Chains A and B, each alone.
Chain A
Amino acid sequence: METKPPLVAEEERKLALIPGAEPSTYMDPWWWLVILAVALALVLIFTQPDYQSIFHFILPGIKITASVTFASYFLMLIVGMIGALGRLSKNFIFHGLSSLYVEIVRGIPLLVQLIIWYYVVPSVIQKIGNDTGIGFLMNYRANPLIMAVVGLTFCYGAYMSEIFRAGIQSIPKGQMEAARSLGMSYFQAMRHIILPQAIRVVLPPVGNEFVSLLKDSSLVSVVAVADMTRRGQEYMATHFNPIPVWLFVALMYLILTLFSSRLVSWLEKRTRFER
């Protein structure tokens, strides 16, 4: 067999893309907005001592916001996947439990859920400890960071499982039938046939969830997590200068969200195949 020159292989790869969606050689113009926002932040930090001190104060908060977001996002992908498989399962109990989970979680505001995880759940655990006399439970103290991640994961996992479910259901039934008729088990078919196709379908909404999560992570400031928002509040409380503080905090969120949505759309373009 003759070997093809790389140019031909490149051409063929392009053919697999949707017509008109050729891999772009030019930069997505929205990147300029990201650059502009970063430049603005840098100018403020290096020319205004006010902003410099704000930046240094909220920097640990930025790290917390990023870690809470990444940790919850990773966990909620897993929870969402399990939830979606449950919603699609024929098993009565598995299906019932995941449906119940999704319906309940979607009906309660995230802020209320976070408060429940931080204040209510530990009290309940301590109460159980007192009633049963188990010392370990009696002395239970909630770790704000862990409870915040659990709360965000629990809530967003429900939304995620609906996205995954819709993505899996969007793959034509014939794909599963063809895989099964070749002797693959349900899980082999899921893994090799259904999920790889479903991922391409759900990538945009799943990416958007990351951006939403990043913004909603500001709610954890209410339950004793020193994220960016809470650091801003603390700074304002001592310096009484709301305008620069919140302008800067908003700018930081904007940079993070703009950057992540660019990343999502770049990924989306790279994985888009004709179906």
Chain B
Amino acid sequence: MLPIIQIENVEKHFGRTRALRGVSLNVSESEVVVIVGPSGSGKSTLLRCINRLEEYDAGKIIVDGITLDSAQNINTVRREVGMVFQSFNLFSHLTVLQNLTLAQHVVRNRPRQEAEEVANKLLKKVGIPDKAEAFPMQLSGGQQQRVAIARALAMNPKIMLFDEPTSALDPEMIKEVLDVMTNLAHEGMTMVVVSHEMGFARAAARRIIFMDEGQILEEASPQNFFSNPQHERTKLFLSKILHL
């Protein structure tokens, strides 16, 4: 079976810096891939290329059989790919419920009642069914991020992208978000996650990708990645973050 995400030799420049230097990566359906690496290594840029929030300069990305080239295709792909951001990016002028129903209504043409049913079911799933009428600013960071996950899921995506979803959270709230993500992984959602949460990577990832300076240096199963890293750079990185 074809991989659901195919990334071939993608290059990206920001002015004179090369953010991505010929990155290739395949992700198959229901796979959970965690991308780790030092900051500035290009992991967020790579993730944002998958739904074309970031344009790339060379190479090819095919998502669910659709090549990301025309505006039409990009919108089609975005409908199938949910994204969760580091800074939540909830729509601050809308209630939680409206945050979840707006895109269903505007993009998927779902009638209001159906959209609200979907929204309420998802709010229950992420553990905050009683906050439907609240505004984002009245919620804690952890709650906001769970709403953001629910908002993305409301579009019934085939793939979920997570861009450092717990980096902006208080330590106490990280777990509630990771729990939601772990459940999602167990349900068979295809997920690409940029994260520093090694615990999550160990528990939920099928594959860990290590990136540095715009390249993929190492790909391994969590077990091999932590116990037997191959690359010197990976060892150095792990020695710095696993200060146990």
Contacts and interface: CB of A to CB of B under 8 A. Distances in A.
Interface of A: 12, 15-16, 172, 174-175, 177-185, 188, 192-193, 196-197, 200, 273-275
A43 B83 CA distance: 66
Given A16-B138, A273-B135, A184 B85 contact: no
Given A12-B133, A15-B138, A174-B87, A181 B81 contact: yes
B224 interface: no
Closest 3 CB pairs of A and B: A174-B89, A178-B89, A182-B103
A188 B104 CA distance: 12
A184 B89 contact: no
B78 A175 contact: no
A181 B157 CA distance: 11
22 contacts: A12-B133, A12-B134, A16-B135, A16-B138, A172-B89, A175-B91, A177-B89, A178-B85, A178-B91, A178-B148, A181-B152, A182-B103, A183-B75, A183-B107, A183-B155, A184-B106, A184-B107, A185-B75, A197-B92, A273-B135, A274-B135, A275-B92
A181 B79 CA distance: 7
B85 A174 contact: yes
B93 interface: yes
Contacts of A274: 92, 135, 137
Contacts of B107: 182-184, 188
Nearest to A189: B106
A196 B106 contact: no
Contacts of B75: 183, 185
Centre residue among A16, A177, A178, A275 by max chain B CB count within 10 A: A178
B32 interface: no
B37 interface: no
Nearest to A271: B93
Contacts of A192: 102, 106
Contact of A175 (B83, B89, B138): B89
Interface string B137-151: 110000000001001
Interface in B152-178: 152, 155
Interface string B86-104: 0101111100000000110
A29 B87 CA distance: 41
Nearest to A12: B133
A182 B53 contact: no
Contacts of A183: 75, 78-79, 103, 107-108, 155
B51 interface: yes
Contact of A182 (B133, B138, B155): B155
Nearest to A174: B89
Contact of A180 (B53, B82, B138): B53
Contacts of B85: 174, 177-178
B152 A196 contact: no
Nearest to B80: A183
A182 B91 CA distance: 12
Given A16-B138, A174-B87, A174-B89, A181 B53 contact: yes
B89 A197 contact: no
A181 B138 contact: no
Given A15-B138, A16-B135, A177-B85, A182 B92 contact: no
B140 to A, nearest CB: 15
Contacts of A178: 83, 85, 89-91, 148
Contacts of B83: 178, 181
Given A192-B106, A197-B91, A274-B137, 6 more contacts: A15-B138, A177-B53, A178-B91, A181-B78, A188-B107, A274-B92
Contacts of B152: 181-182
A16 B138 CA distance: 8
A107 B45 CA distance: 42
Nearest to B98: A192
Given A12-B133, A16-B138, A188-B106, A182 B93 contact: no
Interface string B6-35: 000000000000000000000000000000
A177 B87 CA distance: 11
B78 A180 contact: yes
A16 B155 CA distance: 27
A273 B93 contact: yes
